[in-house]
Amino acid sequence: MKIITKLLEFRGMARRFFQKYQLIIEPVFRFVISYLAFHTINTALAYNTKVASPVIELALAAVGAFLPPVVLILMCALLAILQVYSASPILAALVVVIFAVLYCFIARFSGQYGYAVVAVPILFVFKMPYLIPLLLGMIATPMAIFPTVSGVIIYFVFKVIQEAATRQDITSLDATLALYIDVVNSLFKHKEMFITAAIFAVVILVMWLVRRMRFEFVFEITIVLGAIINILGFLLANLQMDINVGTGSMILGTVVSMLLVFVAQFFRVVLDYTSVEHVQFEDDDYYYYVKAVPKIDVAMLQKNVTTFSDDEEEPEEELTAAEQEEEDFDFAEHSDEIPEEEELTEDEE
């Protein structure tokens, strides 16, 4: 119990710290995401060493820290196009078309979850892309499927571009068309890309549906269910479609992602299912049955814990007794006066 109390106290301190310094923490977080995005692009498409300079990456990240997610995505796309152009101008034209189509979906449907587009390719490098669908399944709507799937496609586009950029025999129109056809075919025949996008979409959708239900520990069950669906989806894909997904790294990455989502949910909201209340009320049109589950907070725990010292208890008890004697005395005085008034009234009669 003491451990839980300490954790709740730490949670309260962390939440208050974030609320106090939110204007500083959010730009720092965006700066880190932006830097990782630019560094990942320059690492995957290292065709222009001047653009891949750490100074340029830091400068771009400093700008991206104060821009909306959609603008950050556009900056990443321009950087990727510039890198590919250094290797093959013809291939860069195809990348522009692919990114333009994806950007239309991202700009229209991503909204505040646009960071998922850049976070998914980054987490693929760390073997933990499963964190994004599990996290968005807890906090987002099904519209988050679009930026998540777009991030998956962008990662596999980078892989295909890396293979196609090694071809240097592009000297005619026929060779250019053959290159475009090979890139498009490689992209559409990439079973791993479609399966990964489908599994992530199913995880987000199922988690969104389950967490809207009314039963106890719904958030915890939703996180575990999302992790199970993710693991089973990739295991079935490995068995039935023979895709190249490492089973061990996939399971380990999913478990670690699940634990991180539990931590995020702990700082987001903690519910006290031992103090559930059922409330009924009505208005002119409806009668309402409401199930209220209180949130656990440090302030609520402090209200329930009261400490009295021995020195403070005795004066309070003596004062209470003295006040009680005075009240008894006043009551006795008034009770003696009432019969006398009644006797005088009888004599007068």
> What values do phi and psi take at 284, rounded to 5?
-70, -25
Report the predicted TM-score, pTM, of the whole model to 2 decimal places: 0.75
Structural domain includes residue 43: yes
The domain of 221 spans 2-274
Structural domain includes residue 24: yes
The two three-digit tokens of residue 203, written as one number: 């995880």
pLDDT of residue 129: 93
pLDDT of residue 213: 87
Do 203 and 332 fall into the same domain? no
Do 265 and 313 fall into the same domain? no
SS3 category, 282: strand
Structural domain includes residue 28: yes
Structural domain includes residue 19: yes
Which one of 274, 295, 315 terminates a domain?
A: 274
| Inter-residue contact 175 to 252 (CB < 8 Å) | no
Structural domain includes residue 297: no
Do 229 and 325 fall into the same domain? no
> What values do phi and psi take at 270, rounded to 5?
-130, 125
Do 81 and 228 fall into the same domain? yes
pLDDT of residue 325: 47
pLDDT of residue 290: 81
pLDDT of residue 202: 96
What average pLDDT is seen over the chain?
Answer: 80
pLDDT of residue 344: 45
Nearest residue to 80 via CA among 32, 46, 116: 46
Long-range contacts of 50-53 (CB under 8 A, 24+ apart): 51/79, 51/82, 51/83, 51/86, 52/83
| Inter-residue contact 238 to 245 (CB < 8 Å) | yes
Do 231 and 319 fall into the same domain? no
Do 200 and 314 fall into the same domain? no
Structural domain includes residue 31: yes
**Whole-angstrom distance, CA of residue 81 vs CA of residue 93:** 8
Which one of 256, 274, 292 terminates a domain?
A: 274
Show the beta-strand stretches assigned E in the chain: 277-282, 287-292
Do 211 and 333 fall into the same domain? no
- Rounded to an integer, the average pLDDT of 179-208 is 87
Tens of pLDDT, residues 299-310: 554 555 555 555
Query: How many residues belong to the chain?
Result: 349
Structural domain includes residue 300: no
Do 213 and 325 fall into the same domain? no
pLDDT of residue 260: 95
Q: Considering its fold, how many domains does the chain have in total?
A: 2
Q: Cα dihedral sign for 170, 175, 180, 181?
A: negative
Q: Which region among 101-110, 150-159, 322-331 has the lowest average model confidence (pLDDT)?
A: 322-331
Do 339 and 263 fall into the same domain? no
**Whole-angstrom distance, CA of residue 161 vs CA of residue 87:** 10
- Rounded to an integer, the average pLDDT of 225-240 is 92
Do 319 and 230 fall into the same domain? no
Say whether pLDDT at 126 is over 80: yes
Nearest residue to 11 via CA among 296, 318, 331, 319: 296
**What's the number of CA atoms in the CB half-sphere (13 Å) around residue 275?**
8
- Kindly indicate the confidence band of residue 337, based on its pLDDT and cuts at 50, 70 and 90: very low
- Rounded to an integer, the average pLDDT of 307-328 is 50
Do 104 and 188 fall into the same domain? yes
- Kindly indicate the confidence band of residue 107, based on its pLDDT and cuts at 50, 70 and 90: low
Say whether pLDDT at 128 is over 80: yes
pLDDT of residue 245: 77
Do 113 and 253 fall into the same domain? yes
Structural domain includes residue 291: no
